[in-house]
Structure 1
Amino acid sequence: MPTVGVGRDRLFAALGETYTQEEFEDLCFRFGIELDDVTTEKAIIRKEKHIEEEAKDDEETIYKIDIPANRYDLLCLEGIAQALRIFNKKQEIPTYSLSHIPKDKMLKMTVRSDQTSQIRPYVVCAVLRGVTFDEARYNSFIDLQDKLHQNICRRRSLVAIGTHDLDTLQGPFTYEALSPKDINFVPLKQTKSFRGDELIEFYKSDLKLKKYLHIIENSPVFPVLYDSKRTVLSLPPIINGAHSAISLQTKNVFIECTATDLTKAKIVLNTMVTTFSEYCEKKFEIEPVEVTYDNGQSYIYPDLAVYDMDVPLSYITDLMGVSLEVEEVTSLLNRMQLRAERSTSSEGQCLVKVHVPPSRSDVLHPCDVMEDVAIAYGYNNIPTRMPASIKPLPLNELSDLLRLEIAMNVYTEVLTWILCSHKENFALLNREDDNSGVIIGNPRGADFEAVRTRLMPGILKTVGSNNKHPKPIKIFEVGDVNLLDETKDVGASNRRHLAALHCGATSGFELIHGLVDRIMEVMGVPFKPEGDIIGYHIKRSEEPEFLPGRQASIICKGKHVGNFGIVHPEVLINFDITDPCSFVEIDIEALL
């Protein structure tokens, strides 16, 4: 969940009421957010720099508030304060509108789509006229951009926001993509002009901006925005130009969002303009900009259209487990910034017509409406009741029974990572990559670049990390593995596996074989000769992770369900294990 830091005194002033910490925590809980921490700016700095120093009484109190990840409208003080005022019935839901400007007098942005399609194809724009900034509002405006960049914008890879002092520019504007050597301008907070390629080298030493360079660094063209005088507005997603930098004196703000995802660009632009239009001379009014592509297509942004959703009253009340009248539901939704009214379907069903404003991009489905009703009603006010059915799924019931049985055989259960390295999935087990595993895009590290296709790597890593533990080590795991599966709509499927390992100087084939027999006995599957489809039998196998001649496949009711044997010495060396190990892995879903 994103955390937003806001000044307590300024927040209370915006709310028009003062609260004790306990009262504010209660208000946050009732609204569905959480007061995570109470600190000061200087305390945050001291913590970052590991400075031991006593706090002073005059330090401003900062509330750190956790908000839901999809509530982009709450990423700054203005959004939180407005939402809480409406929740407390101290403010009406605002109506956002576009300025009435003839199309021929509207600011225009022309997109050279034959160029920008190579790197960042979309741009959306808007203007906030007559804005009044003070230092706190200005800082909040900048902070909102940073928060959006880190969340929905995915660190500027999907959307990059540029804000400019419109009075320093001359429309119409153009959005192009040019060779880095053909771009030349003075970037924000600099006095020297740089070419595009020089700028990349310059910012490689900048702690904040260097993490965005990879987005365009290797592209033959860089995106760039110009005004009619060829003044550079910005080089997205890296830096704005110094010429159009906004300040406390800025009155007219031009906002542009370049993107690879048009839907997210619209959400980001709507969030920016709806949040800060309350500081405009004409409150909640935004000036549109016409964006024209060179193929002739033309669009007006921002799109402030209200989205209407009809939700059956029974859907809301049944999921909540509370009987409510339609008037109660509409009143609760109004407290959550959603205008609502009674409606009736053609079949006579009672509906709640919900008008979703442009600031609430998180409302996508009737379940989102139901959630807001439940929040406004109060989760603590919803009566508790026993679910209609609490019977576990057959697979989970079987998993629990097997866990109990193996534990009674003096094995200790472990829980290992579902993600592993590609090397652990294949090479360290002496296996070739058979393209059966799911690979993670943009993994956090080499240890989490693939989804495990078997439980063996995690079990072996556990033993390798506990080499000094007294022997024998007897551990097991019951968990899911993941395999590519073209028959599934997501392209992959989970399988529930059971794995057990015996590590010690006397670890042999017969020890793990005995555990296999016990598992099958518990499952009620008798040992039968090969060819019998009622029971199970074992047959010689040639799996590379096991020692040749000391391994077997488990065939149950005519299907291959697992393997067991003595782990190959090369595999043990790969996982830094010094003692012999015997191992079994069974697909327990195949036993159902």
Structure 2
Amino acid sequence: MPVVRLYYQDMERLIGASRETIMSRLAMMGADIGKRAEEEYVDVEFFPDRPDLYSSEGVARAMQGFLGIKTDLVSYSVSPGPVVVQVEESIKSVRPLIGCAVVRGLEFTDEAIESLMGLQEDLHWGLGRNRRKVAIGVHDISRVRPPFRYFGESPQRRFVPLDYSEEMTMEEILHNHPKGKDYGHILKDCPVYPLIVDADDRVLSFPPIINGELTSVTEETEDLFIDVTGTDPVVHKALNIVVTSLAERGGKIESVLVKRSEGDFLSPDLSPASWKVRTEEANRLIGFDLTGAELAECLKRMRFGAVTAGEEMDDIVVVQVPAYRADIMHSWDIFEDAAKAYGYDNLEARLPQTVTVGRAHSSEVRKGEIREIMAGLGYLETMPFTLTNELVHFQWMRRSAAPEAAGAVRVLHPISELHTILRTSLLSSLLEIFALNQHHPLPQRIFAAGDVVKDKKTRMNLAAASIHSGANYSEIRSVVDAVLREMDLEADIVPTKDRAFMPGRGADLFAEGKRIGCFGELHPLLLRSFGLEQPAVGLEIEWGELEQ
């Protein structure tokens, strides 16, 4: 999750409250307080669903309302500006969407620059899916001359990228520049690359990779041009978050005319979205007993605009959602903010209406037995993520079946390319852990016992893996025999066709005619995919299936 560094003096200035008051209430707004430097700053972690809080300005704006210093909807004025961006047809098949703005009259401090750069990178991660959907460019507009062009350019176009002193072709940037190495895959197989240039054909930005050195931002910068490009309409939400954060620093927002074949538009659009919510539904969901007027006041403290629909319609509250809030998708999202403003600490403690005695679920009892067995065999327990991705889970494991054919459940709206499906097995996760721990001494022996999901059904698996120079079939076979014996289970061992294992050095486990596991020496090509340089063996048993 994004970590925002808040400097105490900066926050006191932005919020208008003392450090003690801010710190006493910050956690109640949904923040996880982390590392502190007692006299300088505090690191605060926010959930990915609140990208408007990824900057000190966004946190200050929210805290002003939460503390009752400034409530109600923030109104940002957008003045008509002279800057024009021409979007050419050549870019439409590569990275078609763009939003732009100009923010003038800024006074940058070290803290302000750090906050802006941190916001930019966190939005790339949170909204942008590592820049695939959204990439943000921030430029000193005083160094270039509008109008600007956004178009598809030859990979051989040369310019000086940010933090470099010599020209490179865009193709060279993808292979040699650190940002090109990190994000060049986004433009793989593209015949042209996105580029933004000024009236003199000087490069501002090569999205989503790197800006030009020409427009780098310094402490002397006063006026900014901001471009947000991407493949999803969320580019406009990202733009709104950036420009409103800068406006909290005193910046004056100017619109940019974006000209394109399907119709011109002014950017940014900071008009709020209108919702109607029912007080009765809010009370039922969050457990309070608020009137319509009280619900509206709570929402004002969370920087919404809110009024009741009238005396005869007190149950209905008309809500204005600010343009920088990208997380409001349902009325329940609004009610959650109302509950924060009212205060979870105001909930009355009540005794449960039923009296019961708890006991461990049978699957947890069994899991405890498995943990004890594996620990006795010298294996260390790990708890890998339930979410994974097709590349690691299937391609790297040399299991080429399509995810759907293998029974994998896809995540509808993944926040990262690393987490796109629910795991159907555990072994690949253990190999990822090996890859991350190659700086530790060998041998390494680890296991995981937990849920997997196949065909929309949850099952329980055990996986174990060992890596060291002498890892072989005999080692993992002895572990399988010990596990089956200690679990009082019987299974037939037959040669496997699983390509994750070396031919002739892997086996399947069958019980009552069902394949319930596999084990063996892992294939060298598989190990290479994970970046492992030592032999490794592994096993996986569907012990939830065995008990049925």
For the superposition of Structure 1 and Structure 2, which TM-score range results when normalised by the shorter chain? 0.7 to 0.9
Contact map agreement 2:291 2:315 (CA 8 A) in 1: no
RMSD: 5.0
Contact map agreement 1:335 1:376 (CA 8 A) in 2: yes
CA drift of 1:274 comes to 0.9
Deviations 1:40-59 (A, max 9, x none): 8xxxxxxxxxxxxxxxxxxx
Match in the other structure for 2:83:
107
**Aligned counterparts, 1:327-338, within 5 A:** 327-338=293-304
**What CA distance in whole angstroms lies between the structure 2 residues aligned with 1:584 and 1:25?**
48
**What CA distance in whole angstroms lies between the structure 2 residues aligned with 1:18 and 1:95?**
25
2:67 to 80, 88, 95: 88
Deviations 1:132-155 (A, max 9, x none): 434443443333323323432233
The gaps in structure 2 that reach 5 residues or longer are 375-380, 434-441, 465-475, 499-503, 524-534
Contact map agreement 1:545 1:571 (CA 8 A) in 2: no
Identity of aligned residues (%): 26
Match in the other structure for 1:496:
459
Pair 1:163-2:133 in alignment: no
Task: Give the SS at the match of 1:141.
Answer: helix
Match in the other structure for 1:55:
none
Contact map agreement 2:461 2:540 (CA 8 A) in 1: no
**What CA distance in whole angstroms lies between the structure 2 residues aligned with 1:89 and 1:139?**
27
Match in the other structure for 1:7:
7
- CA 1:280–1:431 in structure 2 vs 1: closer, same or farther (change >3 Å)? closer
Task: Give the SS at the match of 1:337.
Answer: coil
1:243 to 214, 217, 220: 214
- CA 1:407–1:106 in structure 2 vs 1: closer, same or farther (change >3 Å)? closer
Match in the other structure for 1:365:
330
1:147 to 122, 138, 145: 122
Deviations 1:380-417 (A, max 9, x none): 2112446778999xxx99x9235547978997588865
Match in the other structure for 2:283:
317
Pair 1:341-2:307 in alignment: yes
Match in the other structure for 1:382:
347
Contact map agreement 2:258 2:267 (CA 8 A) in 1: yes
**Aligned counterparts, 1:565-576, within 5 A:** 576=537
Q: What letter is aligned with 1:332? A: C
Pair 1:74-2:53 in alignment: yes
Contact map agreement 2:61 2:248 (CA 8 A) in 1: no
Contact map agreement 1:189 1:242 (CA 8 A) in 2: yes
Match in the other structure for 1:25:
23
Q: What letter is aligned with 1:14? A: L
**What CA distance in whole angstroms lies between the structure 1 residues aligned with 2:397 and 2:167?**
55
Contact map agreement 1:428 1:571 (CA 8 A) in 2: no
- CA 1:331–1:503 in structure 2 vs 1: closer, same or farther (change >3 Å)? same
Contact map agreement 2:308 2:314 (CA 8 A) in 1: no
Between the two structures, name the one with larger relative contact order (CA 8 Å, sep ≥ 6): 2
CA drift of 1:236 comes to 1.4
Match in the other structure for 2:103:
128
Q: What letter is aligned with 2:255? A: P
**What CA distance in whole angstroms lies between the structure 2 residues aligned with 1:476 and 1:143?**
35
Deviations 1:208-259 (A, max 9, x none): 6642333336533111112222222211122222333344343332211111
Q: What letter is aligned with 1:401? A: S
Task: Give the SS at the match of 1:180.
Answer: coil
Q: What letter is aligned with 1:400? A: H
Match in the other structure for 2:361:
400
2:232 to 249, 255, 261: 261
**What CA distance in whole angstroms lies between the structure 2 residues aligned with 1:571 and 1:137?**
51
TM-score (norm 2): 0.74
Match in the other structure for 2:32:
34
Q: What letter is aligned with 1:98? A: V
- CA 1:425–1:140 in structure 2 vs 1: closer, same or farther (change >3 Å)? closer
- CA 1:420–1:139 in structure 2 vs 1: closer, same or farther (change >3 Å)? closer
Q: What letter is aligned with 1:173? A: F
Task: Give the SS at the match of 2:452.
Answer: strand
- CA 1:11–1:511 in structure 2 vs 1: closer, same or farther (change >3 Å)? closer
- CA 1:352–1:569 in structure 2 vs 1: closer, same or farther (change >3 Å)? closer
Q: What letter is aligned with 1:72? A: P
CA drift of 1:172 comes to 2.2
Task: Give the SS at the match of 1:243.
Answer: helix
Task: Give the SS at the match of 1:305.
Answer: coil
Match in the other structure for 1:292:
259
Q: How many residues align?
A: 499
- CA 1:508–1:75 in structure 2 vs 1: closer, same or farther (change >3 Å)? closer
Contact map agreement 2:461 2:541 (CA 8 A) in 1: no
**What CA distance in whole angstroms lies between the structure 1 residues aligned with 2:369 and 2:341?**
49
- CA 1:320–1:389 in structure 2 vs 1: closer, same or farther (change >3 Å)? farther
CA drift of 1:37 comes to 1.7
**What CA distance in whole angstroms lies between the structure 1 residues aligned with 2:496 and 2:250?**
70
**What CA distance in whole angstroms lies between the structure 2 residues aligned with 1:149 and 1:383?**
41
Contact map agreement 2:462 2:541 (CA 8 A) in 1: yes
**Aligned counterparts, 1:474-493, within 5 A:** 479-483=450-454, 485=455, 493=456
Contact map agreement 2:141 2:223 (CA 8 A) in 1: yes
**What CA distance in whole angstroms lies between the structure 1 residues aligned with 2:147 and 2:396?**
60
**What CA distance in whole angstroms lies between the structure 2 residues aligned with 1:73 and 1:419?**
26
Match in the other structure for 2:205:
234
Contact map agreement 2:516 2:541 (CA 8 A) in 1: yes
Contact map agreement 1:500 1:585 (CA 8 A) in 2: no
CA drift of 1:544 comes to 4.0
**What CA distance in whole angstroms lies between the structure 2 residues aligned with 1:366 and 1:443?**
28
CA drift of 1:266 comes to 0.6
Task: Give the SS at the match of 1:211.
Answer: helix
Q: What letter is aligned with 2:240? A: N
CA drift of 1:432 comes to 8.5
Q: What letter is aligned with 2:35? A: D
The gaps in structure 1 that reach 5 residues or longer are 41-59, 470-474, 486-492, 517-537, 555-559
